[in-house]
Amino acid sequence: MQAEQQLSKTLKPRHLSMIAIAGVIGAGLFVGSGAAIQQAGPGILVAYAAAGLVVILVMRMLGEMAAAHPETGSFSTYADKALGRWAGFSIGWLYAWFWIIVLGVEATAGAAIMHRWVPGVDQWQWALVLMVLLTLTNVASVKSYGEFEFWFASVKVAAIIVFLLLGVTAILGFLPGVDAPGLANLTGNGGFFPNGPGAVLAGVLVVVFSFFGAEIATIAAGESENPVDAVKKAVKSTVWRILVFYIGSVAIVVTLLPWNDASVAKSPYVAVIELFGIPGAGTIMDVVVLTSVLSCLNSGLYTASRMLFSLSTRGDAPKSWRKISKRGVPVSAVLASTVVGFVTVGLNYLSPDKVFLFMVNTSGAIALFVWLVIATSQLILRRRMGAAARELELKMWFFPYLTWLSIAAIMALIVGMIIVPQTREALLLSVALAALVVAIGVFRYRKGGVKRPGAEVLEAEPGDKVSSRP
């Protein structure tokens, strides 16, 4: 697409590496993991491993398509070709909506921390400052986004690495003042599965959404100097990122502290830092969480704007959103993303328990919808390729068996959201929103009535040339 070729290609390998890492390290790991541990006990490690496996498989499938043909629209453009124009339209808009809602959530979370530090400034004013700051960063250039994300991610990675090193030292009994716990906290207090296997299955639903964001690297790859290599590295590193950062750090928490300790539910990482005897544990974690929030704001705005830009280039969004500045930034798409972001921030203060909560719940299951579309698209596109699939630089493992297994696992998670009362409302509202968007997409493209810009490219046969389209 001609419009996409004008995007700046200034993201460097170090930017992409950190963007890939930052995508799976959010505030949910540092804060939300406490509720998950309280729900399932030490068995939550099984939930993290199961959810992580699904994400690893989904990223491998997405990586196969993205390495063959990097696109700013990523899975939305692949859904276009695999399932039909209505599918690319629908999943693109749902994905953009998810990240636009995230802007309001994260801006509010960051503002709460800033207000604790500087109570003289109202919380809504801090939320406004954070939104404006990250908007200016994204409007300036894609390189400025990459630099901010690089340093945000560096802080998070450094914090987790220090946490892991101190944790392993404490578990081995080499940390002064901390007794080696052995297996007491893993097997005591009710055992490894104190609340039964059912709690672990419910825990999967809690933790699975913590991994959403890993796919951002495949979207950002379209603005890198070497997109194919960037995608391959990001996908291949997903395994160790999940194993080390998530499962490794949570394993340290449940090994060092009893799972039912009140401090674990409140803030597991703060509780462990206090166990180490490090002063100012709460403040340290506030800094790390604030960094995670800013990182999520930065990436959320970038991701939403690029998806809106991609939709625009394909005729699925206003034409003005495809305009690109001299610095290679789709400024109109960035500003369009922030408009709703600013509105959600306002609604969070005006009506946090009604309107804002309703909007958040409409995005509650979008991650599962995105993963389902990725898996289905890969299954269809790979089969269309036939013998040409041998030339792919990055392949899905044991195709099609693991692809079908992934689809079954995602469907099971969706069914699980119906069964578990705490997630039922979010699923129903997400399904209602998805049904509305799909209905619009089907109506818009009934009988092939609307021709998109660049449709002739999307309609090329995948078996013709691997390098042009997976």
Domain ranges of the chain: 13-386+399-443
Q: How far apart are CA 422 and CA 426, in angstroms?
A: 8
Q: What is the pLDDT of residue 6?
A: 65
Percent of the chain clearing pLDDT 70 (strictly above): 92
Q: How far apart are CA 331 and CA 145, in angstroms?
A: 13
For the stretch 245-263, pLDDT in tens is 888 999 999 999 999 888 8
Q: What is the pLDDT of residue 24?
A: 67
Q: What is the pLDDT of residue 470?
A: 35
Mean pLDDT in residue range 79-103: 92
Please tell me the least confidently modeled range out of 82-91, 226-235, 437-446: 226-235
With a CB cutoff of 8 Å and minimum separation 6, the contacts of 311 are 73, 76, 89, 92, 93, 96, 317, 321
Q: What is the pLDDT of residue 2?
A: 41
Mean pLDDT across the chain: 84
Mean pLDDT in residue range 82-111: 90
Amino acid at 324: I
Q: Is the pLDDT of residue 459 over 60?
A: no
Q: What is the pLDDT of residue 465?
A: 42
For the stretch 5-31, pLDDT in tens is 467 777 777 777 777 776 667 666 777
With a CB cutoff of 8 Å and minimum separation 6, the contacts of 339 are none
3-state secondary structure (DSSP) of residue 362: coil
Residue 117 neighbours by CB distance under 10 Å: 12
Q: What is the pLDDT of residue 326?
A: 85
Q: If you search the block for the tokens 């940390």, which residue do you land on?
A: 175
Tell me, what DSSP letter sits at residue 452?
A: P
Q: How confident is the model at residue 455 (pLDDT cuts 50, 70, 90)?
A: very low
Asked whether the beta carbons of 67 and 231 are under 8 A apart, the reply is yes
CA-wise closest residue to 372 among 102, 100, 23, 78: 78
CA-wise closest residue to 145 among 245, 22, 30: 22
Q: Is the pLDDT of residue 449 over 60?
A: no
Q: What is the pLDDT of residue 430?
A: 92
Q: How far apart are CA 89 and CA 445, in angstroms?
A: 9
pTM: 0.88
With a CB cutoff of 8 Å and minimum separation 6, the contacts of 348 are 104, 105, 108, 127, 356
Tell me, what DSSP letter sits at residue 105?
A: H
Q: How far apart are CA 369 and CA 90, in angstroms?
A: 10
Q: How far apart are CA 89 and CA 74, in angstroms?
A: 12
Please tell me the least confidently modeled range out of 41-50, 146-155, 363-372: 146-155
For 383-390, the CB contacts below 8 A with 24+ separation are 384/461, 384/462, 384/463, 385/462, 385/463, 385/466, 385/470, 386/463, 387/463, 388/462, 388/463, 388/464, 388/465, 388/466, 389/466
CATH code, residues 13-386+399-443: 1.20.1740.10
- The H-assigned helical ranges of 69-141 are 75-83, 85-117, 123-140
Q: How far apart are CA 302 and CA 22, in angstroms?
A: 13
Mean pLDDT in residue range 355-367: 80
Structure tokens at 53: 């496996």
Q: How far apart are CA 308 and CA 339, in angstroms?
A: 13
Mean pLDDT in residue range 322-330: 87
Q: How far apart are CA 287 and CA 289, in angstroms?
A: 6
| More confident position, 236 or 433 | 433
